[in-house]
Amino acid sequence: MGMFSNIIAPSKQAIGSFLGIDVDEHITDEMSDWMLSKIKKEVGKGNFSGGLDYDDYGMGDGNGNLATMFSKKGLLSPEMAWGNTLGRANWKVDKKSGEVSFTGDEYDFRPGQYGWVGDIISGGGLFSDEIQKFTPKININSTKKG
């Protein structure tokens, strides 16, 4: 399947979020490699926390805000998958375990931001009232997705 599987992550997450059901956060090896590279580069500089915005994914307006749902890196890129699942978020690495935790990963859109679909997702979905989120499991000490 290769890079074609990158499109599965946002599709699966979108369906789960719209319905309001928890889905297993699908992370492809290519997505994992991209995120690990990005975070390890920061850790190498001594930064054990940081943030991601839409400019990181090639989807931003130059100020970190979402400009388009499609990454300049391509429809099947890991950037496209991350931008449409995790989106803007902060990360922090546990220095001892290497586990990466994310905050700001809730699907809590501004009213009308994505029309009625976004409003349903922001409300928790059709079958829930709990805001859905994307909580990837990443460990900088591992080269495999967790």
Q: Which residues pair with 66 in a beta bridge?
A: 60
Q: What is the phi-psi region of residue 19: left when phi exceeds 0, alpha when psi lies from -120 to 50, beta otherwise?
A: alpha
Decide if pLDDT at 53 tops 60.
Answer: yes
Enumerate residues 6+ apart whose C-beta is below 8 A from 5: 28, 30
Q: Is the pLDDT of residue 108 over 50?
A: yes
What pLDDT score was predicted for residue 62? Answer: 95
Sheet holding 99-103, edge to edge: 49-52, 89-93, 99-103, 138-139
Q: Of all residues in the chain, what percent are helix, strand and coil, respectively (each to 5)?
A: 35, 15, 50
Query: Could you read off the pLDDT of 24-44 as tens digits, one per residue?
Result: 777 899 999 999 999 999 999
Structure confidence at residue 145 as a pLDDT band (50, 70, 90): very low
Helix (H, G, I), strand (E, B), or coil: what is residue 89?
Answer: strand
In contact, 50 and 90? CB cutoff 8 Å: yes
